[in-house]
Structure 1
Amino acid sequence: MAFKQYKNKLKNDLVDMKKIWRDPLLLVTIIFTILVLLTFILYPLFSVLNQSFVGEDGFTLKAYVQTLENIDFRNTLGNTMKLGVTVGLLSTLLGFIFAYTDSYIRTRFKKMFNIVSILPIVSPPFVLALSVIMLFGQRGLVTHKLLHLTDVNIYGFKGLVIVQTMTFFPVAYLLLNGLLKHIDVSLEEAARNMGASRWKTFTTVTLPLMAPGIANAFLLTFIETVADFSNPMVIGGDFSTLATSIYLQAIGNYDMQGGATIAVILLALTILIFVIEKYWLERKSYVTVTGKASRERELITEKQIVYPLSIVCLLITIFILALYILIPLGGLFKIWGVNYSLTLDHFKYVFDLGLEPIMDTTFLSVIATPLTGILAMIIAFLIVRKKFFGKGFVEFSSLLAMAVPGTVIGIGYILAYNTRPLLLTGTGTIIVIAFVMRSLPVGVRSGVAALQQIDPAIEEAASDLGANTSKVFSSITLPLIKPAFFSGLVYSFVRSMTAVSAVIFLVSAKYSLLTVQILAQTDAGRFGVAAAFSTILIIIVYTAVAIMNFALSKMGVSKEGM
């Protein structure tokens, strides 16, 4: 029986391959896509792996033995796991509270909650860390100026937990909010009609249905936390993590093999979590929560439920808004913590001497954005609509960058493209490629989700009328998935403008980036200049997103579709 099934599968595969051979453009597209993924995702990772295992005398495990025996590394690994679990739990809890309030509670603050939950996603990852230092550091506005405390230390584990939780809980919120809105209302109503209380219904119906989604949200925020580079660099103090150790070992100590070894260990951890999340939990989520709700949910109005949840969300909202408001204000004070007289010197410095990183970042992001959008939609089209040898490889590789920490990508690109024939180190090209590969997974997932909702018969009809793959994709598929395509463009631009962990390895004297400049200014204690740079970056991002949304509304693409 097994042999017969294998024979039938082989026969079907041959039929599919014959169809592809008859369409040269499709064949070229598949080959090109596989080559891109091999060259710019797998080859850099192989280079990191190779560097960690190959020494002057050939293959060796010396670097791993030294690393694993190093007490500092063990402490760093423990720190990373402790931070990942803590932030993962807190982010998932906060994300669930916000999502439940948005989906189930009648409150007038929902629009404010939604705006605040999106803010950390469309801003540089370490902006909140900068604000927390300015508020609660040794010369902080709250700790020093208002409370007159002298022995406060916001750096380290506590500061990191606060900053990363505020930064990453929107990831959990967006995931859980979508799942909560798709729970069939009739399931909860049936429990209520049988006499179950709100709490009983929540614990026996809603929570079990959401369990895979909650676990999924925890794993995603865990990956984001352990892979985060910028926040530990800014506010981590002597609390080291694997992501920062890679950079300090490779760039600070000029020990590329040691940095590559730590990178491989971190990569193994994140890929393990990614595989569990992608191939086990996501499938369980689709089984337990399916389809759309049969009708609108009747929102909860009981004060004993509405008030506590609204107050928690409102307090978090006010805290996050205060952190963001502080950024432009920080750029207007002469010396933060010492002299609070108003000045425009920091902004003048930025426009006089720091205009180059602003222009470089915007220019390279603009180039990377359409490349990401088009490549993501092509890959999504191949995954959903075509059958070919290597399809599983294309799907896994295109989503793999989601699990690879930025520091691992950065060190991989240095190792892979520092020699001929692909000598790209120091060029703008390598930065654009890094932008594209880092943003690709979200565009692919968005495109796949959109294509799965479209009846393939529409495209098949065009093919039957004589249209080739290129014509079908450009005239039928792309217009139908327009919202997913343009949402990918917006996300790609934002992600490129705010990237730091991968590109900090790739900047050169010729190309400097805003986020790297902000990090350097913060590290030097020049918070006013860092705040001015951050303000300009946020303004550019929000202006670009507003322009895109306006243009898309004129083109008939709704925000809901995005």
Structure 2
Amino acid sequence: MSMRALRKLTYDPTLALTVLFIFGLLGLFIVYPLVQVFVTSLFYRGEFNPKYFLQFFRRTYLFRPLLNSLTVGALVAGIGTAIGFLFAYAVTRTDIPGKPLFRIIATFPVISPPFLLALAAILLLGNHGLITEYFKLRWDIYGLPGLVLTETLAYFPLAFMALEGVLASIDPALEESALDLGASKMRTFFRVTLPLAIPGIASALLLVFIRSLEDFGNPIVIQGKFQVLTVQAFLAITGMYNLPLGATLAIVLLIPTLLAFMLQRYWVGRRSFVTVTGRPSGAALRRTSPLGKTLLVGMLSLISGIILLLYGLVVYGSFTRLWGVDNSFTLENYRYVFSTGAEYLLDTLKIAGVAAPVGGILAVIIAYLVVRKKFPGRGLMDFLSMLSFAVPGTLVGLGYVLAFNKPPFRLTGTAAIIALVFIFRRMPVGIRDAVAMLQQIDPAIDEAATDLGGGLAATFRRIALPLIAPAFISGMTYIFVRCVTAISAVVFVVSAQWQLITVALLHEVDNADLSQAAAYGVVIILVVLAAILLM
């Protein structure tokens, strides 16, 4: 088949050039930066010397952050997936009141910078937090408790979204059959519903674990003395100016994420979970008992209340003069954001305005090639296009700094390098959306266009693109939102000429100007909401 596909490329120069162009982009902006990180970690002062790999397990100050990161990741993955499952189960498998509201609250943290919750936790439980000051507490939120709290609330929506579709697809007839055979509702849940949800649970655990492991924004704000690997890699580069050490720590960070991915594939792949058979089912969800409703609504209301409280504190804090010292009302923080911070906001919108459509178009082109065309290296293209999604943002950002700071690819200090980080780091979501939509469209439509003389470009532009327009729009929206809210990868590539509003927010937190930081956070949320409504 590969020879036939290769022969087809020779007869279709447009396809051949497109494939080569895409491989060139993936090689230059995904593979090349990662190679540069590996090379930097293995060479010291121009000579091969993996000294930091050799020292890593001998030096406590190097090894401890890895253990701390794994601890936080495991706790956040477990608790976050449990909360996500609770919300998803209540929304899809019960008849509790207020389900639309709970769904909105469960997804709200997705549209804000993840570390905005860390800022809110400081406003509530920091050294001058409302609760800390009111009760004269000597304890504060910094360290492991703060990291687990903020990352769990920031990333449990990912588990919720992964599990909602899985639980919604389970045929109620399976549970009804178990109940008709005499099983209690509790036994039916543990013996039928929960086992069928294992693929989603495993996927959610993996996703939340990786996102926690690579999180930079929350730890840099609230880690205190509980050091994690992402922050240590950043400080090694920006504080110690030790690129080999920073690269080594970034590579070490990659190892557990890949191991988690392989474990998830092994765990889920060895069992069958088919529930959609094509046969119609007239079964409907059974009514939830009054006690069950009370417990579910109570737990969901408690978690939702915490989320609303934290975001409400950010809004309240944005109108105070100096948090913890003078909480009187003022609009000066917003005047500051729209004067001093206006340049950061405009830079962010300009870069996001370029990265979003470019990333969206590249995503649908790659998806179209992978699903609809046969050519040598199709599987490799699919793998490379998804690679950056599995790589921690710290590693991606460092890779771009190392790869594009000298001719012939000197991009450091420009807007282009920031846009490229966004495009190739966030593009995989758009690719998966487009692939899923293309798999639902009959290939005969494309084949008919080709038989009538339509070339690759014409068929894609006039047939495929209109059919997968929703995937293009959703991918473009996702890239735009992440451009406005991201911090982990781009913190390495911003410059004095081009800054981002999330970096400005982080600077305000570093300077202890929490009221101004809160105002930046509110503006970011409003910009994201406006973008979602417009798109």
Superposition TM-score, scaled by structure 2 size: 0.97
Partner of 1:133: 122
Query: What are the superposed Cα offsets for residues 347-404 of structure 1, whole Å, 9 maximum, x if unpaired?
Result: 1122221111010001100100001101011111111112211112111111111111
Instruction: Give the match's secondary structure for 2:338.
Output: helix
Q: Aligned pair 1:117/2:117, yes or no?
A: no
Q: 1:370 to 1:57 in 2, by over 3 A?
A: closer
- Which of 350, 353, 363 matches 2:340? 353
> How is 1:533-548 mapped onto 2 (pairs within 5 angstroms)?
533-548=520-535
Q: Aligned pair 1:266/2:250, yes or no?
A: no
Q: Which shows bigger deviation, 305-314 or 15-24?
A: 15-24
Partner Cα distance (2:109, 2:242) in 1:
34
Displacement of 1:286 after TM fit?
A: 7.5
Q: Aligned pair 1:304/2:291, yes or no?
A: yes
Asked if 2 retains the 8 angstrom alpha-carbon contact of 1:52 and 1:261, the reply is: yes
Instruction: Give the match's secondary structure for 1:401.
Output: helix
Q: Which runs of 5+ in 1 are unaligned?
A: 1-11, 549-562
Q: Which shows bigger deviation, 298-307 or 214-223?
A: 298-307
> How is 1:441-480 mapped onto 2 (pairs within 5 angstroms)?
441-480=428-467
1:75 maps to a residue whose letter is R
Q: 1:405 to 1:296 in 2, by over 3 A?
A: farther
Asked if 2 retains the 8 angstrom alpha-carbon contact of 1:166 and 1:320, the reply is: yes
Asked if 1 retains the 8 angstrom alpha-carbon contact of 2:122 and 2:141, the reply is: yes
- Which of 250, 253, 258 matches 2:237? 250
Asked if 1 retains the 8 angstrom alpha-carbon contact of 2:202 and 2:268, the reply is: no
Q: 1:289 to 1:156 in 2, by over 3 A?
A: farther
Asked if 2 retains the 8 angstrom alpha-carbon contact of 1:426 and 1:506, the reply is: yes
Instruction: Give the match's secondary structure for 2:257.
Output: helix
> How is 1:315-326 mapped onto 2 (pairs within 5 angstroms)?
315-326=302-313
Partner Cα distance (1:406, 1:541) in 2:
21
Partner Cα distance (1:38, 1:289) in 2:
40
Displacement of 1:76 after TM fit?
A: 0.8
> How is 1:37-76 mapped onto 2 (pairs within 5 angstroms)?
37-56=26-45, 58-76=47-65
Q: Aligned pair 1:171/2:158, yes or no?
A: yes
Asked if 2 retains the 8 angstrom alpha-carbon contact of 1:48 and 1:260, the reply is: yes
Asked if 2 retains the 8 angstrom alpha-carbon contact of 1:51 and 1:257, the reply is: yes
Query: What are the superposed Cα offsets for residues 288-342 of structure 1, whole Å, 9 maximum, x if unpaired?
Result: 4546884563243311212111111111111101111222211111111111111
Partner of 1:35: 24
1:312 maps to a residue whose letter is M
2:90 maps to a residue whose letter is T
Q: 1:297 to 1:283 in 2, by over 3 A?
A: farther
Q: Which runs of 5+ in 2 are unaligned?
A: none
Partner Cα distance (2:272, 2:415) in 1:
41
- Which of 474, 480, 498 matches 1:493? 480
Asked if 2 retains the 8 angstrom alpha-carbon contact of 1:213 and 1:285, the reply is: no
Asked if 1 retains the 8 angstrom alpha-carbon contact of 2:87 and 2:300, the reply is: yes
Partner of 1:192: 179
Partner Cα distance (1:467, 1:241) in 2:
54
Seq. identity, %: 42
Partner of 1:213: 200
2:117 maps to a residue whose letter is L
Partner Cα distance (2:101, 2:82) in 1:
19
Q: 1:385 to 1:482 in 2, by over 3 A?
A: same
Query: What are the superposed Cα offsets for residues 184-213 of structure 1, whole Å, 9 maximum, x if unpaired?
Result: 222222212212111111111111111222
Instruction: Give the match's secondary structure for 1:114.
Output: helix
Superposition TM-score, scaled by structure 1 size: 0.92
Q: Aligned pair 1:340/2:352, yes or no?
A: no
Partner of 1:558: none
Partner of 2:510: 523
Q: Aligned pair 1:328/2:315, yes or no?
A: yes
Displacement of 1:276 after TM fit?
A: 3.9
Q: Which shows bigger deviation, 49-58 or 517-526?
A: 49-58
Instruction: Give the match's secondary structure for 1:224.
Output: helix
Partner Cα distance (1:57, 1:105) in 2:
63
Partner Cα distance (1:38, 1:488) in 2:
22
Partner of 1:236: 223
Partner of 2:470: 483
2:523 maps to a residue whose letter is I
Query: What are the superposed Cα offsets for residues 92-132 of structure 1, whole Å, 9 maximum, x if unpaired?
Result: 10000000000111122111111111111111111111011
Asked if 2 retains the 8 angstrom alpha-carbon contact of 1:157 and 1:236, the reply is: yes
Q: Aligned pair 1:107/2:96, yes or no?
A: yes
Partner of 1:17: 6
Partner Cα distance (1:546, 1:299) in 2:
35
1:21 maps to a residue whose letter is T
Partner Cα distance (1:276, 1:290) in 2:
25
Q: Aligned pair 1:181/2:168, yes or no?
A: yes
Displacement of 1:443 after TM fit?
A: 0.7
Displacement of 1:486 after TM fit?
A: 0.9
Displacement of 1:273 after TM fit?
A: 2.1
